[in-house]
Structure 1
Amino acid sequence: MALRDDALTVPLFTAADASRLVGVPAPTARRWLEGYSYQYRGERRTTAPRLGPHAKHVEGVLLMSFLDLLEVRLARRLRQRGVPWRNVDRTAVWFRDAWKAEHPFVLRRLRSDGRDVFAEIGRNLGDKALMRIGTDQYVFDAIVEPSLFDVLDFRPDGLPERLWPAGRDAKVVVDPARAFGEPILDAFGIPVRVLARAYVANDNDAARVASAFEIPVEAVEAALRFDAGLRVAA
C-alpha cells in the first residue's frame, strides 16, 4: 500500500482545483490552508491554518493533497450548516484523538458512526448545530449523506482513494495515483483536459477525436460535458 499511501498525501491540487472539483471557492480554500491576517478593533490578528497537514507551496503555488482536498470539502459543509469554526476545530481534535487519524473527517466510518459522534460532541460543546446534526435525520443527511460518500471509493482501511466529482454516471474520476490527480475517463485513463484540447484542435469534431484516441464517441462526449462543467465552476 506504500505507493497508494503516498498518492493520497502528496500535494497535487491547487485552490482552483478545490473550486472546480469540490465546490469550495479558491480564496476560501487558501484561507483555510494558509491562515490569514485581519484587523480587529485596530489590532492586526493572524489565524493559523485550519486544515491541510500536507499542504505546502511548490514554486510559489499552494498545493494540497487528495485527503486535504476532501477534508476541505466536508469543512465547507459544516460551515454552510452554521457550525462555528471554533467547534469545527474542536470536533476535528476530538476525532483525531478518538480515532487516531490524521484526516478523521474523510474516513468511511464517519458515515456509520457520525450521527452519534456529532451528537456527543455537540452536547459537550454546547453547540446546537452539531446536536441537530446528530439527532435530526434530515440535517445530518444533508451534510454527510449521501453526496459526501457516494462519490468516493474507499480502501479496506476506510481511507478514500478516488473521487467521482460529477457522480459515477459522468464516467470521470479523480484518482491521485493516476495522471497526477487530473480528472480522467476512468475506463481509458485519458485526462479530460487532453480530450478537450484535441476536440478544439480537430474543429470540434468528437468523432475525429474518438478515432484518434481509439475510444467511443460517447466517451469523448462525456469528457467534454465534464470539461464544460469545470469551466463553469472556474
Structure 2
Amino acid sequence: MGHIAQTEAAGLVGIGLYTPAEAGRLLLISPAKISRWLRGHEANGKQYEPLWRPQVDLGDEGIFLGFRDLQEVRVASTFIEKGLSAQRVRQAIELARDLVGEARPLSTAKFRSDGRTVFLQVVEEDGQTKLIDLFRKQFAFRDVIERSLTNLDYDEAGVPAVWWPLGRTKSVKIDPTRSFGQPIEAETSVPVDALVSAVEAEGSPEAAARTWDVPIRAVKRALAFRREMDMRSVA
C-alpha cells in the first residue's frame, strides 16, 4: 500500500484494498480478466461495459478492488465458467440489485437463497437450453452458488464480512475492517506479511515468534499461506 497516499488510505478503512494481481492470486482468476470485467473493454469494434463499478476509485492510479468486489468476482466467475457471457452476468447483477437492495448483490446471503429466478430470467432471454435447465433446478443453482462462496462468514445483515481464502483450518482470514483487508493470522490477528517479514529479518520462525510474542504455529501458518500465494503467482 506504499503507493496510496495517507489521506486516501484513511478512506479505505473497512473496505479493503487489492490490485488485480493480488485479487487474482487470492481468487485463482487471471488479473487481466478481472481488470477487463471491472474496467470494461472493446472487442471487434464493440464496447463492453464493466460488470459493476469497483468499491475503490483512486482515479488515475488504476483498477483496485474492495473486499466486496472480491466476493462478487468469485460468483461472477463461476457463472461465466458455466457458460453465461460476462454481459449477461452484468444484466443479472442489475436485476439482482432490486431483489437484494445491495450494489453488490451476488455474494449476499439473500441472493444465495432467492437469486435463482434472476439468472433464470437472464438465460431465458438467450434461449440457452442447458443453462435454463441448470438454473431452473433449485438444487443445481444452490450448488453453483455454494461452491463459489465457500469459507465465507456473514454479518447480521447477510453481507460478507470475513473470508478464509484457504479454509478455516489454515487459520488465515481476510477481514476488511482489519489491516485494510490484508490476510491476517487468525489466532493472533497479526498480518501475514508482518510475520513473514519477521522471519526474513530474524532468520528463523522461532526468532520471529519471539519478536512478535506469538506461538510458533502462528508464524508457520503465515509462512504456509505465503508459500501458497507465491506458487499461485508462478503458475
Q: 1:85 to 1:139 in 2, by over 3 A?
A: same
Task: Provide the residue aligned with 1:3 in structure 2.
Answer: none
Alpha-carbon deviations, 1:210-234, whole Å to 9, x = none? 1221111111111111011111122
Deviation at 1:70, TM superposition (A): 1.1
Task: Provide the residue aligned with 2:151 in structure 1.
Answer: 151
TM-score (norm 1): 0.84
1:229, 1:163 → 2: CA distance? Answer: 16
Q: 1:164 to 1:11 in 2, by over 3 A?
A: closer
Alpha-carbon deviations, 1:127-163, whole Å to 9, x = none? 4354233245775355211x43331111111110111
Higher mean alpha-carbon deviation, 207-216 vs 111-120, is at 111-120
- RMSD of Structure 2 on Structure 1 (CA): 2.4
Task: Provide the residue aligned with 2:133 in structure 1.
Answer: 132
Task: Provide the residue aligned with 2:200 in structure 1.
Answer: 200
Q: Which runs of 4+ in 1 moved over 4 A?
A: 136-139
Report the number of matched residues. 223
1:11, 1:213 → 2: CA distance? Answer: 24
TM-score (norm 2): 0.84
The equivalences for 1:78-157 within 5 A come to 78-115=79-116, 117-123=118-124, 125-136=126-137, 139-145=140-146, 147-157=147-157
Q: Which runs of 5+ in 1 are unaligned?
A: 1-5
Q: Name the one with the larger strand percent.
A: 1
Task: Provide the residue aligned with 2:186 in structure 1.
Answer: 186
Alpha-carbon deviations, 1:80-113, whole Å to 9, x = none? 1111223212211211122222111011122222
Deviation at 1:183, TM superposition (A): 0.3
8 Å contact kept, 1:121–1:130: no
Task: Provide the residue aligned with 1:233 in structure 2.
Answer: 232
Task: Provide the residue aligned with 2:30 in structure 1.
Answer: 25
Q: 1:156 to 1:231 in 2, by over 3 A?
A: same
Task: Provide the residue aligned with 1:212 in structure 2.
Answer: 211
Alpha-carbon deviations, 1:48-78, whole Å to 9, x = none? 2222342423562321221112111111111
Deviation at 1:118, TM superposition (A): 3.6
Task: Provide the residue aligned with 2:173 in structure 1.
Answer: 173
Which SS does the other structure have where 1:37 is aligned? strand
Deviation at 1:36, TM superposition (A): 1.8
